[in-house]
Amino acid sequence: MIVFDRVSFSYGSRPVLQQVSFRVQTEERVAVLGGSGEGKTTVLRLILGLLRPDSGRIFIDAEDITDRKESELRAVRRKFSIVFQDGALFDSLTVRENVAFCLREYTRMTEEEIDQKVKELLKRVDLENAIDLMPEELSGGMHRRVAIARSFAACEPEMFLYDEPTTGLDPVNADSICRLILDLSHGGRGLIIVTHKVFDAMKVANRFMFLRNGNILFDGDQAALIRSPLLEIQAFLQELSLSSPPPGADQEQNRHV
């Protein structure tokens, strides 16, 4: 379980989160919505201990990680798989070497075992044929898939964290990434996705939080989100009236809720 207890955080003099509190079970599928600069990615970094709150406490599985030293956070971070928006692949390494990097750093596997594991992970994200390509040769969707495979490499996470995983992708690739996200969450592992893309959030999540001006204005299911009378949320949801869902979106959501 993840618990934020009255967490506040600022970048210099600019407050980002103000007295934010919530609880997320590791098997939940949660979307954190909000505009740019509202603190969505900051929430993920605080969960991992990459940032420390100015005030408040953060608990992971009932353990207070707020003041943990860097050396004490490794076990906590291994509970999560994180994919940041840019994917953060090493430009000078092939797909094979990118995915193998964490295996070499954090395991005692032989090179033969590592190579077999890399192939298994790439098959899982349907990229086994791209194993010897360089990052510059990958499409945006392929790049995100490699990043997801690499995040899986060093551990079997309890929960997945995604930072704007479909930003910059065309609708077909975005839909493909959403389907992969859902497939990987099977077996009781939950996810937190931060995004400003409403349709993509609705494909993968069944609980929604809305961040605005450092506060959580909404926390509930999809139906309640759409019915919310808050003007800030209705303005954000204009995507729903300006666009049409990709084919099969409703069926995909219903299948996994």
Mean of pLDDT over the chain = 87
Tokens of 177: 């990434």
Q: Looking at the domain assignment, is residue 98 inside a domain?
A: yes
- Nearest-10 Cα torsion for 197, 161, 247, 225: -50
User: Looking at the predicted structure, is the pLDDT value of residue 252 above 60?
Assistant: no
pLDDT confidence bin for 41, thresholds 50/70/90: very high
Helix (H) / strand (E) containing 251:
helix 249-256
pLDDT band at 240 (very low <50, low <70, confident <90, very high): low
pLDDT score, position 244: 45
Q: Could you give the 3-state DSSP secondary structure of residue 226?
A: helix
Q: Which residue has the higher pLDDT, 141 or 9?
A: 9
Q: What is the pLDDT of residues 42-92, one digit of tens each?
A: 999 999 999 999 999 999 999 999 999 888 898 888 889 888 776 678 889
- State both tokens at 74: 């490794």
Is the separation of the CB atoms in 1 and 23 below 8 Å?
Answer: yes
- Is there a domain that residue 13 lies in? no
CB 193 within 8 A of CB 207: no
CA separation for the pair 86, 37 (Å, rounded): 16
* Domain-embedded: residue 95: yes
Q: Hey, how many other C-beta atoms are within 10 angstroms of the C-beta on 163?
A: 21
When mean pLDDT is compared across 12-26, 184-198, 229-243, the lowest value belongs to 229-243
Residue with tokens 């930003």: 167
Does residue 190 have a pLDDT over 90? Answer: yes
Asked whether residue 243 is domain-assigned, the answer is no
Q: What's the pLDDT tens digit per position in 102-145?
A: 888 778 889 999 999 999 889 988 898 999 999 999 988 888 88
Residue 138 inside a domain? The answer is yes
The residue range of the domain holding 109 is: 89-156
Over residues 169-198, the mean pLDDT reads 88
For the chain, how many structural domains are there in total? 1
**Does 185 map to a domain?**
no
242 pLDDT above the threshold of 70: no
Is the pLDDT score of 94 beyond 50? yes
Q: Does some domain include residue 172? A: no
Beta strands at 14-24 and 190-195: parallel, antiparallel or unpaired: unpaired
Give domain status of residue 113, yes or no: yes
Q: What six digits make up the tokens of 145?
A: 């898939």
Binned at pLDDT 50, 70 and 90, residue 254 comes out as: very low
